[in-house]
Structure 1
Amino acid sequence: MSPADLATQLSDVATSTLASAEPAGLLPARQQMALSLGWHIILACFGVAFPAIIFVMHLRGIRRDDPVALGLAKRWAKVSAVLFAIGVVSGTVLSFEMGLLWPGLMGTFGDVLGLPFAFEGLAFFLEAIFLGIYLYGWGRMPPKVHLFMVAPMAVTGVIGTYCVLAVNAWMNNPTGFNVVDGEVVDIRPWAVLFNEHTALQFAHMWVAAYMVVGFSIAGVYAVGMLRGRRDRHHRLGFTVPFVFATVAALAQPFVGHVLGDGLDERQPAKLAAFELAETTDDGASPLRIGGVLIDGEVKGALEIPYLGSLISMGSLSEPVPGLDRIRDEDEPPVNLTHWAFQTMIGIGLLLMLGVVMYWFFRWRRTDLLRNRWFLRFAAVCGPLAVVALQAGWIATEVGRQPWIVYGVMRTTEAAGEHSAGLWWILGASTVVYGTMTVGAIVVLRSMARRWREGETDLPSPYGPDRLANL
């Protein structure tokens, strides 16, 4: 059964009416999800990538009997615990928000989406358990056993992220159910979990997580070197995460390109918005850099002939399908989608060129860690990677509009009819997230200051040593 057939059975209202009707709960629901997901996804990146980076640093410390590497691994574990604790709050909030903000979605498809959400919760709890074992295992476990407590953290972080991405991939390519007389039946939850597009979408996010975390950690030590702290601690603290970020930055353009292959068939409106293709060209489409769509006309774009077709269609003659093939009520917000997509691509290419430059000069035996301009660039790579991450999610989620489940359920059908309470929740969430952000910054800066002052082993509030003194 095609998505169009499913949409017809699920709705008794004409398409044009659905497009114009906006329930009162739609706007606050969108704002709340943007805040919650935009904030939580950064912490999720650290849950995915940080354990592997800690593992490599800890392994280096054991194999080379390197106290600097072991010290860095121990410090990073404490930082990871702080970020994980904050992520617990935002993740718990999100688990309630899906049903609260989108009753139409969860009321209709809750049974379809239950399995991946259940596995994600299980992975989350297992990650917390092994983080606690690793955090309090220093000096209390055999070195190799202690080291391998990091591995389950990395694995569960990956599993949890895969499950969440499976839900999002399903929203972009719904499967695993049928609709009979307006009712969702024949539910196949494993088909949702192993959607054919989940693996590539997960890979794109997984690589992005290593870019965010690798560049962010390296940037911290770049700032330290800018302030004159050029000891081995800072150089090693920069180099190891920067290696992870390098691999991710080089791989990401290829992963993203493969993920986008076939988008003209799956979601042609999204591709048209990405490429700012208002009309379908007679021949090859140009690549449009920048520009906006105003009153049906593209203005201010730099056009490179043929390149749009080559990148999007793999052809020098086949045009990119334009918005003229899409019904008006099915078009996404074109300008926002286009600029978000190009922001992601532009920053990704900049970061890729930056790592290539670093390793080229290192191959030429030029130490860029003594170059203040490079250190300044390295310091901003973390924030740039975060911006690219957020822009990528804006592009994929806004580009799917007006569908919350592509071709099956519109976002207007998923939102609730009441808004007063949702606006209060949005206000309270803004205060909570702002407070947690300030608190995290204060705690992490305090930890860094005390480490610089020579405190090598900061006490853990619930560690065995602290409890023994109660």
Structure 2
Amino acid sequence: MLPLIAQPAGLLPAREQMAVSLGWHIVLAAFGAAFPAMIFVMHLRGLRGNETCLRLAQRWSKVAAVLFAIGAVSGTVLSFEMGLLWPGLMGRFGDVLGLPFAFEGLSFFTEAIFLGIYLYGWDRLPRWLHLWALVPMMAAGVFGTYCVVSANAWMNMPSGFTLTASGEVVDVHPWRAMFNGRAFLQFAHMWLAAYMLVGFVVAAVYATGMLRGRLDEHHRQGLTVPLVFASVAAILQPVVGHVLGMALGDIQPTKLAAFELATTTEQPAPLRIGGLLIDGQARGYLEIPRWGSFIARGSFNKPVQGLDAFPAQDLPPVNVTHIAFQSMVGIGTLLALAVTVYWVLRWRGHDLIRRRWALRCLVVAGPLAVLALESGWVATEVGRQPWTVFGVLRTVQAAGDNPGLWWMFSGVLVVYLGMTVGALVVLRSMARRWRAGEEELPSPYGPAPEKAATR
């Protein structure tokens, strides 16, 4: 049994600051990964003759620019936090993790460049060349997301280095670390989650407008296109999540035990819905026999190790991990069922867009998708504790011993609050002016556009 390690003074503020920063930034990162593809489809529909879609693509590109601007600030904060808050991680494993972070920076600049070309290319570039300016932007957003997720996947399944008896990191292979065994599946899970979040949030915005009586083509297109993306992602997500989770029993058995609220090893293991761990006992749950083994191990007979099989100092915060995991799964399942019912009824001739109860459900789906994404990251990060690099580096070893981090955390809270308020004010102002008929919002610089003959 390993001896307990004293907690450094910087551990708690580092955890709090990282939780706020990552939880706030991940929503913007989702828009960076998924929103360009939706703009591309909308623009393509516009070039094929639908002027409403073309106008929506132009508006969405301006919204994307606002979100990208504040995402650049929050992403920069996160990049500095990795070194300032976790010196034990970056000082020791910087050579291993440096490659995906370097590529993520290049992806960020590529996305920024082509977003600028697309924004200022309206009525200046040839029609189809302007559309294809979105493709590098889409690719950069996807690859940048992969780079960040691969670094997190490496923390869950470290590879690409050798640890000597003295704890020194040698024989570093950055490419092997970047393309570790969990990276692709974890990326696919996050990628689908991004499309779910963006699709449902954008659809919720237009569903709100329709509830207020704006039943025009503009709102129908603005709701339908993102809902298609969200629906496909919501239906595929449980499959990817199931495949991703089946390996937890071999890779991170403590996280799996917390997910399943398994206090003892059981074969076959039941599925426990709800419940909490109180005084070492699981209480208040609904039990479904054998389904725990199937969901966790892909078989109705395989065992699931219980919490009692591991030392107490190696266990994650069980209740937080369990609740976050079940919230993610529950919301994801609910959204998948809802969109399946929606499209089946629409296929059978029911125009649900004109039903107020259906629009209310779409309004609620937006916040639920955000909550599902946040819950998934809480389950992933908290469930890995007490390790920063699973089985190799404990979180208390990764943190610094600087109590002054509380001041830094306070400053970050002020900055993030200011960005939130600023983004809401700008986006609401843009929406209000668009409703008033002001399509050409003024630019801070650049020549006045010359209307091309093709328009």
TM-score range, shorter chain: over 0.9
> C-alpha displacement at 1:66, in angstroms?
1.3
Q: Which amino acid aligns with 1:304?
A: I
Residue of structure 2 in register with 1:105 after alignment: 89
The C-alpha deviation readout for 1:38-89, integer Å capped at 9, x for no partner, is 00000000000000000000011112x1110100000000000000000010
> What aligned pairs does 1:29-428 form with structure 2 within 5 A after superposition?
29-63=14-48, 65-180=49-164, 181-281=166-266, 283-420=267-404, 422-428=405-411
What secondary structure is seen at the aligned counterpart in 2 of 1:16? coil
> C-alpha displacement at 1:358, in angstroms?
1.0
> C-alpha displacement at 1:291, in angstroms?
0.5
> C-alpha displacement at 1:318, in angstroms?
2.2
Q: Give distance in 2, aligned partners of 1:287 and 1:358.
A: 28
> C-alpha displacement at 1:310, in angstroms?
1.6
Greater shift in the superposed pair: 221-230 or 310-319: 310-319
Q: Give distance in 2, aligned partners of 1:109 and 1:316.
A: 40
Residue of structure 1 in register with 2:445 after alignment: 462
What secondary structure is seen at the aligned counterpart in 1 of 2:272? strand
What secondary structure is seen at the aligned counterpart in 1 of 2:145? helix
Q: Give distance in 1, aligned partners of 2:110 and 2:306.
A: 47
Answer yes or no: is 1:453 the counterpart of 2:436. Answer: yes
> C-alpha displacement at 1:463, in angstroms?
3.3
Q: Which amino acid aligns with 2:78?
A: L
Residue of structure 1 in register with 2:2 after alignment: 15
Q: Give distance in 1, aligned partners of 2:161 and 2:168.
A: 10
Pick one of 429, 435, 441 that aligns with 2:424: 441
Which residues of structure 2 form unaligned runs of 5+?
450-455
Q: Which amino acid aligns with 2:148?
A: V
What secondary structure is seen at the aligned counterpart in 2 of 1:464? coil
Q: Give distance in 2, aligned partners of 1:446 and 1:323.
A: 52
Percent pairwise identity: 67
What secondary structure is seen at the aligned counterpart in 1 of 2:277? strand
Q: Which amino acid aligns with 1:298?
A: A
Q: Give distance in 2, aligned partners of 1:205 and 1:91.
A: 17
> C-alpha displacement at 1:317, in angstroms?
2.2
> C-alpha displacement at 1:459, in angstroms?
1.7
Residue of structure 2 in register with 1:7 after alignment: none
CA contact (8 A) 2:195 2:230 kept: yes
Which residues of structure 1 form unaligned runs of 5+?
1-13
What secondary structure is seen at the aligned counterpart in 1 of 2:448? helix
The C-alpha deviation readout for 1:382-409, integer Å capped at 9, x for no partner, is 1110000000000011000000000000
Q: Which amino acid aligns with 1:456?
A: E
CA contact (8 A) 2:33 2:145 kept: yes
Q: Which amino acid aligns with 2:73?
A: V
CA contact (8 A) 2:260 2:322 kept: yes
Q: Which amino acid aligns with 2:426?
A: V
Q: Which amino acid aligns with 1:441?
A: L
Q: Which amino acid aligns with 1:222?
A: A
What secondary structure is seen at the aligned counterpart in 1 of 2:445? coil
Residue of structure 2 in register with 1:9 after alignment: none
Q: Give distance in 1, aligned partners of 2:169 and 2:294.
A: 40
Aligned-residue CA RMSD (Å): 1.0
TM-score normalised by length of structure 1:
0.94
The C-alpha deviation readout for 1:238-276, integer Å capped at 9, x for no partner, is 000000000000000001001112210100000000000
Q: Which amino acid aligns with 1:191?
A: R
- Structure 1: which 4+ aligned runs deviate by more than 3 Å? none
What secondary structure is seen at the aligned counterpart in 2 of 1:378? helix
> C-alpha displacement at 1:462, in angstroms?
2.7
Q: Which amino acid aligns with 2:2?
A: T
> C-alpha displacement at 1:350, in angstroms?
0.9
> C-alpha displacement at 1:33, in angstroms?
0.2
